[in-house]
Structure 1
Amino acid sequence: MNQVVAELLANNAEHADSFRSRFGDVQDAQHPEAVTVCCADSRVLQDHIFGNDDPGRLFTCSNIGNRVVQRTASGEAVSGDVLYPLAHTGTKTAVVVGHTGCGAVTATYDDLTEGLSEPPGIEHCLGLLKPHLEAGVDALPDDVDRPGAINRLVEYNVDRQVEFLRESDDVADDVDVVGVVYDFQDVYSDRRGELQVVNVGGETSVDTLRERYPEIGDRIDRLWEY
């Protein structure tokens, strides 16, 4: 047996022991409080970043670039895995989770500025990000360094995904959509692993958001108010 798989199975045995009694209320149906759209980066521990250990509480989606966009025969649409809980389980909160140093954002930036050659599957994913980030790349400050450019585009990407959800006819008007950035690189503060709120319902002004939500004022920040 592959040693990595063997270790994963051993860890799962411990998980099964501790979670044995936690599925009683959700065996037949789910009504998650929120759908989270995270980057699939291995450093983003999805449910754990919210301290979640409750089956049924969060509907967690992940892909490279924390995208809500899916390409269909009729054009771009909200990805089905994101839309499902909003359409079918009564979920009224969507949280788009970007992260500092995002590889998908970096690759999209490089593709837009220099051109890249990637396998078709990766190229498809970058192709879903490129049209939404192109204007952001063009608007970057001239004096920003490469890491600064990437992390500003991380915020910009979160904004675009929030915007896409809010503007979709498939997403009900009463769904709250929030954008956050997970920081493990000391970009916003030295509290590694902390989430910074960068967008609430399309509002991106730090001053406005802090005034509107004083109870989380110290968790609201941005690198870029373009």
Structure 2
Amino acid sequence: MPDSVSELLGHNEHHAHEFENDRFEEVQDGQAPPFVTVCCSDSRVLQDELFDNRTPGEIFTVGAIGNRVYEETADGMAVSGDVLYPLVHADTETVVVIGHTGCGAVTATYKDITDGIEEPAGIRHCIDLLKQRLADGVGALPDGLEESEAINRLVEYNVDQQVAFLRESDDVPEDTDIVGVVYDFQDVYTDERGLVHVINVDGTRDPDQIEAEHPELADRVRRLWTY
């Protein structure tokens, strides 16, 4: 057994000591989290930590390569059960789709669309799912971009596509609020590393319109690409 597992268990012991009093009392028998977050399963993105969440029952967290909200089923494409469960069974009313700068899944999908790449079957499946929604975005990219610039614009496009899929689904309750954001740890949007920037609210992508409709978000609304 590698020493790293012992270290991981040590971190858990520290966590348990911090939570040993009454931190779980209100959620012993169920949950009703106000948010479900759908985040890329990238080790650099600390899904709960980025919202400073240390409250059990506050956020239902979903991780998927490319912050993907959909999956392929026997009946066709559908909202992933991981995302849908809290909306249908736990009274959750808000979905936050979290992309991030320099996303490896978006990068791989971009490279596959433009040049073709070889990947194991499981990764290939994920890339093929993302390609269904990203191919048009690759075709619409402005000319003359560096690859990193293209990727970060596609990160936004991917978030938009995930939001759109949720809005298009009859399985998602009509009164669900859906927010798309990008987590920036590469100083792409500002020099304040680690901020989340709002790029889409219920399908609205225009920053001016978002700010007008949601003035409380105004200082956090930014986009690299309005297409």
Q: Under TM normalisation by the shorter chain, which class is it?
A: over 0.9
d(CA) in 2 for partners of 1:117, 1:143: 26
The one-letter amino acid of 2:77's match is: E
Secondary structure at the residue paired with 2:27? coil
Q: Distance in 2 between matches of 1:214 and 1:91?
A: 23
Look up the match of 2:5. Answer: 5
Cα drift, residue 127 of structure 1:
0.9
Q: Secondary structure at the match of 1:25?
A: helix
RMSD over aligned CA atoms reads: 0.7
Note if 1:140 corresponds to 2:123: no
Q: Deviations over 1:167-215 (max 9, x none)?
A: 1000011000000000000000011110000000000001111122222
Distance 1:128 1:19 in 2: 39
Superposition TM-score, scaled by structure 1 size: 0.99
- What SS is found at the alignment partner of 2:24? coil
After TM superposition, the structure 1 stretch with the greater mean CA deviation from structure 2, 206-215 or 72-81, is: 206-215
Partner of 1:18: 18
1:19-98 paired onto structure 2 within 5 Å: 19-20=19-20, 21-98=22-99
TM-score (norm 2): 0.98
| Per-residue Cα deviation, 1:88-118 (whole angstroms, up to 9, x for no partner) | 0000100000000000000000000000110
For the residue of structure 1 that corresponds to 2:86, the secondary structure is: helix
Q: Can you list the C-alpha shifts for 1:13-47, whole angstroms capped at 9, x where unaligned?
A: 01001012211110110101110000000000000
Tell me the equivalent position of 2:132: 131
Q: How many residues in Structure 1 have an aligned counterpart in Structure 2?
A: 226
Aligned-residue sequence identity (percent) comes to: 61
Mind listing any 5+ residue stretches in structure 2 that lack a counterpart?
A: none
Secondary structure of 1:15's match?
Answer: helix
* Secondary structure of 1:118 counterpart: coil
Task: Name the CA distance, whole Å, in 2 between partners of 1:92 and 1:101.
Answer: 29
Superposed, which structure 2 residues align to 1:200-211 within 5 Å? 200-211=201-212
Where do 4+ consecutive residues of structure 1 move more than 4 Å?
A: none
What are the superposed Cα offsets for residues 122-177 of structure 1, whole Å, 9 maximum, x if unpaired? 00111110010000000000121111100000000000000000110000110000
Distance 1:11 1:132 in 2: 39
Moved more, 215-224 or 176-185: 215-224
